[in-house]
Structure 1
């Protein structure tokens, strides 16, 4: 919490930075003032459905307020569990790639704005039954500037299976872990 400001003013200041959409298993806490922020995303079994026909999925995790958003860095440590029957949906030892980007996944190859906050990171889903796989850690790409002056920038967790054989039918992944994002909002020139 920001010292010197009453609690309600500190909360209002963090809401002005942006908000996480309501989603069971997702919590975002933003601290900062004057355009410089630290947002910690906590995932507690957040469910993400993955359709077999696409073999990729996205979940919006944050809506930044309008303005140019400068990503300064951060870290991510996530675990993934398959909640559906592995033998008939997302298979044992499936090769998952995940990223953070300003655009939702649009193909099984995560690239461009789908990976402009955190590069595509590989993780083999080797947890037993619905147990999470070991944690997958990655660093946030530093020094990325996202232009949200016309349309505010969103942040997505993107998931994909590059090999279509890794998924046999629609399935559900559960995401657990944390992402810490250090960023600035440079404002809107309008």
Structure 2
């Protein structure tokens, strides 16, 4: 009987923490109890389309449960590959900016709530053809802060952008591979 207890606690943590939107190449494992959680986001060539007209894109990676969410810290290590023809879409050595926020990207200049969980991080796409770029590592924001999800549950987005029009010549697709570890607390709901 004791063998099933860790599995039951793991399922309870995942259910209490929030939901993972269905997306090929994305999985999340949440552990913890009593309102303190650790979520590990695993990316295995998760595809994110990016249009030339916008030069930015978002992928929702988590829906927190309703309530106040206190982000405590964490780390990220991601690699990127261009799955479309480099000469006509996302160019060789394109300057990618990425971050994690509670809002989807709304411009190529990632700022404010688009990068309030993990600050805007620059990465040159140095992988040739469809090969992965070298790893880009970053820490989740240094200061703990709270997302107010009491009216509408808070979301978490991976945001990607190209700052200059010369980095992307046509609609393209990036593949994201790596891990994000997030430490957080659920402080409950006011209602």
TM-based fold match above 0.5: yes
Deviation string, structure 1 residues 32-87 (Cα, Å, up to 9, x no partner):
11100000000000000000000000000000001110000000000000000000
Residues of 1 paired with 2:177 and 2:9: CA distance? Answer: 31
Query: Are residue 88 (structure 1) and residue 59 (structure 2) matched?
Result: no
Structure 1: give runs of 5+ residues left out of the alignment: none
Q: CA separation of 1:77/1:10 partners in 2, compared to 1, >3 Å: closer, same or farther?
A: closer
- Provide the residue aligned with 2:140 in structure 1: 140
- Provide the residue aligned with 1:17 in structure 2: 17
SS in 2 for 1:28: strand
Deviation string, structure 1 residues 73-119 (Cα, Å, up to 9, x no partner):
00000000000000000000000000000000000000000010000
- Provide the residue aligned with 2:67 in structure 1: 67
Structure 2: give runs of 5+ residues left out of the alignment: none
- Provide the residue aligned with 2:101 in structure 1: 101
CA displacement at 1:12 relative to structure 2: 2.7
- Provide the residue aligned with 1:187 in structure 2: 188
Retained in 1: the 8 A contact 2:76–2:180? yes
Deviation string, structure 1 residues 136-162 (Cα, Å, up to 9, x no partner):
000001402110000000000000000
Q: CA separation of 1:28/1:68 partners in 2, compared to 1, >3 Å: closer, same or farther?
A: same
Task: Provide TM-score, normalisation by structure 2.
Answer: 0.96
Residues of 2 paired with 1:60 and 1:67: CA distance? Answer: 18
CA displacement at 1:127 relative to structure 2: 0.2
Residues of 2 paired with 1:83 and 1:18: CA distance? Answer: 31
Residues of 2 paired with 1:167 and 1:15: CA distance? Answer: 39
Residues of 2 paired with 1:54 and 1:151: CA distance? Answer: 27
Q: Deviation above 2 Å: which 4+ runs of structure 1?
A: 3-10
- Provide the residue aligned with 1:116 in structure 2: 116
